[in-house]
Structure 1
Amino acid sequence: MTGTSDARMWCAADLGSLELFKATVREFTFRPHAHEEFFIALTEAGVATPTYRGDRHVITPGDVIVLNPEENHAGGPPDEGSWTYRALYPRAELLREIAAEFPGRGPALPEFHAEIVRDHGLVARLRRFHCLSESPGSSMLEREVLLTEAFVLLVGRHAVPPRTPRSPGTEPRAVRLSREYLEEHAEENVSLRTLSGWAGLSAFHLCRVFRETVGMTPHAYQTQVRVRRAKALLRTGMPLARIAVEVGFYDQAHLTRTFKHIMGVTPGRYAKDATT
């Protein structure tokens, strides 16, 4: 693409072939076009002045553009400016599944009319999801939870009309089954779809009821299980690199970062203190 730098498009095959894109655009104007999917763009840096819904808009860092399928749009950064953004192109079926979980929506496709979406919770989840999708070995469960929670916020707060999700309830059996599955498969790259199927709930419902009951996301719970197992192995004197593989971390560095974030000390320090 002439006039862009660091442009990349890829497909998250494990998430229903969701297309993702990121770029820094300079001296480039997109011609009028539309996508068959939803278009969700998060601005990270710079300014854009795209045209859509009959007007020209000024887009700044933290702003999100959400366009419905087949909505025309065009434009790019102003002259001598640049625009760094990340985009997702979710298929209609994916957001229809999310919308069906809200009272009164049924199977209808959600519609978005806001010119610009400003929502810190949504932005944080979208950006974290997008960045993780670039990292080899990133957790499927973490990415799916982030994406599900982001779409829940998007549909609930910003679709027309806004709605509040149904009460999650307690679902003790589903939560118990989920916890048991995560404990038994702690070292595996578990997917949310697999976990929700095991629990007998939709991915959307499981995320909400699990967080409500346990106080953390399924991914955070799996990470906690891995760290506890790492602690036990550290006391045996097993090498860090082997422990990382045994408990399900991508590599030793991943284990070290996560362990310190939860325990407050590095695995090496913990092992030394635990064996003296």
Structure 2
Amino acid sequence: MPSSHWIDLARDHDTGIETLHAHFQGHAYDPHWDDSYLVGVTQQGVQQFHCRRQRHASTPGQVFTLEPGEIHDGTAPCAEGFTYHMLYLDPHWLSGELSGLFDHAPDLHLPSFANTLQTEPRLARAVSQAFAALHHQELRIVRQSALDQLLARLTDRVHWRRRPDPDPRLPQVALRAREYLHAHVHQDVGLQELAVACGVDRFRLTRAFKAAFGLPPHAYLVQLRLATARRMLAAGAWPAHVASDLGFADQSHLGRWFMRAYGLSPAAYRSRCSNLPD
């Protein structure tokens, strides 16, 4: 990691929420997606990123909110870089908590954020207080109270969307390919194999998949494996085992991809999230 970058990561074991405090100058991380809800506040500088096919620029005090699976990157357009803190909210935890807060939460729906960037001081304050309580491992009652305050502010900005049933607007070949990749994430899937499984040639498959999900199949599979690697590492799995289990050539191959997406090595991530030694 360049000396101009620093990352401080922790994990709350009661809720599974990860907290991140970081600073980047220049390029921060490559396009990737997470399987958590991301809620954070830019503290200093300009945090520029692409998401939902738009370029965003988050400035100090602004709140950014991303849903699981949304592709995003990060860069600092200004020489001084940017600093932010953020919570990775576990989807099962968030859905359960919000369902309890809404009197009539619809069945078979997931919480969703209407806007990627928001300028709302009370929400920003709630995010920062929840981050501080969890990141610094305050008393359980303090952590729970801070999270309740955050959820109370988020309910004003959350709407509900149906669970990801097959979207009729997406080509069936892309949906079949995504389902195949999820079912074979631990295997060395080839593009020709994937095309045969979907009943099309690989060129049509790649065009349809990228149009539907924003990434070609090979890049999507890498992101899927990285998201799976995060869960395995947080549970205490060794990086070498994770690399072998997920089809990376070796541990260093996993490490290069992991660093590009998250700014940390797999070993550092494991140590900080599992409280186990490297």
Shorter chain as normaliser: what TM range? 0.5 to 0.7
Verify the 8 A CA contact 2:38 2:87 in the aligned structure 1: yes
Contact in 1 for aligned 2:24/2:81 (Cα 8 Å) = yes
Q: Mean alpha-carbon deviation: is it higher for 91-100 or for 67-76? A: 91-100
Per the alignment, residue 33 of structure 2 pairs with 34
Name the residue aligned to 2:43.
44
Are 2:86 and 1:87 aligned? yes
Question: What aligned pairs does 1:53-64 form with structure 2 within 5 A after superposition?
Answer: 53-64=52-63
**What amino acid does structure 1 have at the position aligned with 2:136?**
S
Deviation at residue 2 of structure 1 after TM alignment: 3.0
| Distance in 2 separating the partners of 1:135 and 1:96 | 25
Matched, 1:9 2:12: no
* Correspondence for 1:244: none
Cα distance in 2 between the residues matched to 1:38 and 1:47: 21
Residue 89 of structure 1: how far off its partner (Å): 0.7
More strand by share: 2
Please state if 1:128 is matched with 2:129: yes
DSSP-derived class of the 2:129 partner: helix
Aligned-partner residue type, residue 42 of structure 2: T
Letter in 1 for 2:145: V
Q: Is this contact kept in 1: 2:39–2:64, CA < 8 A?
A: yes
CA apart distance, 1:41:
1.9
Query: Which stretches of structure 1, 4 residues or more, deviate above 6 A after TM superposition?
Result: none
Partner residue of 2:191? none
2:142 corresponds to 1:142? yes
In 2, are the aligned partners of 1:4 and 1:23 still within 8 Å (CA)?
A: no
| Distance in structure 1 (CA, Å) of the matches to 2:48 and 2:110 | 28
Question: Structure 1 regions of 5+ residues with no counterpart?
Answer: 162-276
Larger Rg, first or second structure (1 or 2): 1
**Structure possessing the higher relative contact order (Cα contacts under 8 Å, 6 or more residues apart):** 2
Aligned length: 159
Give 2:77's aligned residue.
78
Specify the alignment match of 2:18 in structure 1.
19
Counterpart position of 2:116: 115
The answer to whether the Cα contact below 8 Å between 1:29 and 1:75 also exists between their aligned partners in 2 is yes
Structure 2: how far apart are the matches of 1:144 and 1:120?
Answer: 21
Q: CA separation in 2, counterparts of 1:111 and 1:134?
A: 25
Distance 1:11 1:28 in 2: 25
**Paired amino acid for 1:102:** F
Report the Cα distance in structure 1 between the residues aligned to 2:76 and 2:4, rounded to whole angstroms.
Answer: 11
Tell me how far apart the structure 1 counterparts of residues 76 and 34 of structure 2 sit (CA, whole Å): 20
Pick closer, same or farther for the CA change 1:132–1:16 going to 2, 3 Å: closer
- 1:1-276 matches, within 5 Å, as 1-2=1-2, 4-13=4-13, 15-100=14-99, 101-107=101-107, 108-135=109-136, 138-154=138-154, 156-160=155-159
Q: Report SS of the residue matched to 2:145.
A: helix
Mark the CA change 1:28 to 1:54 in structure 2 (over 3 Å): closer, same or farther: same
Alpha-carbon distance in structure 1 between the residues aligned to 2:45 and 2:127: 18
Identity of aligned residues (%): 22
Checking the alignment, whether the CA contact within 8 Å between 1:117 and 1:158 is kept in structure 2 is no
TM-score (norm 2): 0.53
The 8 Å contact of residues 40 and 127 in structure 2, kept in 1 or not, is answered as: no
